[in-house]
Structure 1
Amino acid sequence: MALVAIGANLPQADGTPAIETCRWVVRRLATLRGMRLLAVSSWWESAPIPPDPGTPPYINGVVRLEGKAEPEALLAALHAIEDEAGRVRPYLNAPRVLDLDLIDLGGRVRDAPPPVLPHPRAHLRAFVLRPLAEVAPGWMHPALGQSVEVLTETVAGQEIRRVAEGCPPSRPSA
């Protein structure tokens, strides 16, 4: 199982709003070679972390994929999709057209090489944990040994609200 967090807070160059970019990326992730899209969370709106009064709120979600992928190859594919959407990285934590984070890949724990698994800050972010709980209830953090439900309680004070239902994964035709 692979868990990928999706986030966006800027429109694309053509004016496509952040929530539409997030919906687009779900369709794009469904085309990854060797992976199958199993679940898509609702879309959530959250304040930037760290707080930045001039930065628009983020739209966030999580998808659950199944298949075989090496961490480096999956991270490269996620970065290629970000580039396709027009992401630029002018500085750390800059507002973005699209952000894709590999949260977990089959319960692997590793510090290097990139990607670090599980994602080193996922357990600290309501905007990851709330949608993750929708697509992988009972998920256990591979390094901390705590469930997503327990971890979600620790971030209860973070500002987040559900703004839209996720789109269901495509079903293969019969």
Structure 2
Amino acid sequence: MPEPRGEGRGDILVAIGANLPGTDGAAPLATCRRAAASLDGMLGLSLTALSGWWETAPEPPDPASPWYVNGVARLRGEADPAALLAALQSIEDAAGRVRPYPNAPRTLDLDIVAMGRLVRAAPDPILPHPRAHLRRFVLVPLAEVWPDWTDPAGGRSVSELIRGLPDAPMRPVG
């Protein structure tokens, strides 16, 4: 069966975010840029597109937490989901990522949003990402790198998903 238009079997979407300085003192934007660069060639994947960077308010709202820098990378190639998750977590660990509690501020966050049309509920990683369709800070940059992407689980286009979300504070970086 042919794949729907714009849905490459070997296309992988990775959300990138940070709101704390790295362990080396680098600003979140610099950490995100380095992380994006490190994706190219990882596990034989190639970086084919990178969104602009966006500053976004923490979700859930936390007045004590700095705004995040967010973006999305589009990769091409085939990878085992568990191996990709482990490789992304290794990059996070190298950037000083700690997980004291859910939604804690972080030096780096790398999430697999989708791997082609793969849908799976277990084991980790769950694909597509179970909350990506609810996050403006993921979908707006995703639309930059893949404007005709459709959620493999729900079948809705990225533009439909964005239209269905409540407004949320976001501003382009730069």
Q: What is the TM-score when the length of structure 2 is the normalising length?
A: 0.92
Range with bigger deviation, 154-163 or 8-17: 154-163
> Percent of counterpart pairs with the same letter?
58
Match of 1:149 in 2: 159
1:99 to 104, 109, 119: 109
Distance 1:84 1:31 in 2: 17
Residue type of the partner of 1:28?
A: S
How many corresponding residue pairs? 164
Residue type of the partner of 2:48?
A: L
Displacement after TM superposition at 1:14 (Å): 2.1
Distance 2:140 2:172 in 1: 9
Distance 1:58 1:137 in 2: 23
Q: CA RMSD in A?
A: 0.8
Match of 2:54 in 1: 44
Match of 1:15 in 2: 25
User: Post-superposition, which runs of at least 4 consecutive aligned residues in structure 1 deviate over 3 A?
Assistant: none
Distance 1:89 1:31 in 2: 27
- Is it true that 1:109 corresponds to 2:119 in the alignment? yes
Residue-by-residue CA offset, 1:88-118 (whole Å, 9 max, x unaligned): 1111111000000000001111100000000
Distance 1:113 1:104 in 2: 15
Residue correspondence of structure 1 range 1-174 to structure 2 within 5 A:
1-164=11-174
**3-state DSSP of counterpart to 1:78:** helix
**3-state DSSP of counterpart to 1:33:** helix
Displacement after TM superposition at 1:159 (Å): 1.2
Distance 2:86 2:129 in 1: 15
Distance 1:44 1:154 in 2: 20
- Give unmatched runs, 5+ long, in structure 2: 1-10
Residue-by-residue CA offset, 1:28-69 (whole Å, 9 max, x unaligned): 111302101000000001011111000000000000000010
**3-state DSSP of counterpart to 1:72:** helix
